[in-house]
Amino acid sequence: MYKVGIPIVVVYQASNIDTGKTIAMDIYDATYAKDVSKSVVAMTEIGMTGRYYASFTPDTEGEWVAMMYDSLPPAKGHVVKAFTVRLDAIESPPMVG
């Protein structure tokens, strides 16, 4: 789980580990409405690895969705990730033993 107001880093692996792509990330809030202000036109590539990253900061509780894809026509490689966001702090798991 993630916390309201704390950035969430999202990583995307391009098809065929393609480098130099323009990977977009659309963010949908807890009502599943696209949040244009949190969406990213071009994620940053990690070196020349074909892996891209960007972050967004949720401002309400609920399930947030990130959809990443190669944005150059025709758009392809769509991947969706969901993030559960809460108001309270993330608790550590209980100690065993």
* pLDDT, averaged across the chain: 91
Q: According to the model, what pLDDT value does residue 95 have? A: 57
Per-residue model confidence as pLDDT tens digits over 7-41 = 999 999 998 889 999 999 999 999 999 999 999 99
Q: According to the model, what pLDDT value does residue 2 have? A: 94
In this structure, is residue 93 part of a structural domain?
no
Q: Are 71 and 52 in contact (CB under 8 A)?
A: no
Per-residue model confidence as pLDDT tens digits over 72-84 = 888 888 999 999 9
In this structure, is residue 92 part of a structural domain?
no
Q: For residue 23, what are the domain limits?
A: 2-86
Give, in order, the Cα–Cα distances in Å from 79 to each of 12, 24, 76, 87.
Answer: 8, 11, 9, 26
In this structure, is residue 36 part of a structural domain?
yes
In this structure, is residue 30 part of a structural domain?
yes
Beta bridge partners of 79: 68
CATH of the domain at 24: 2.60.40.10
The count of domains in the chain is: 1
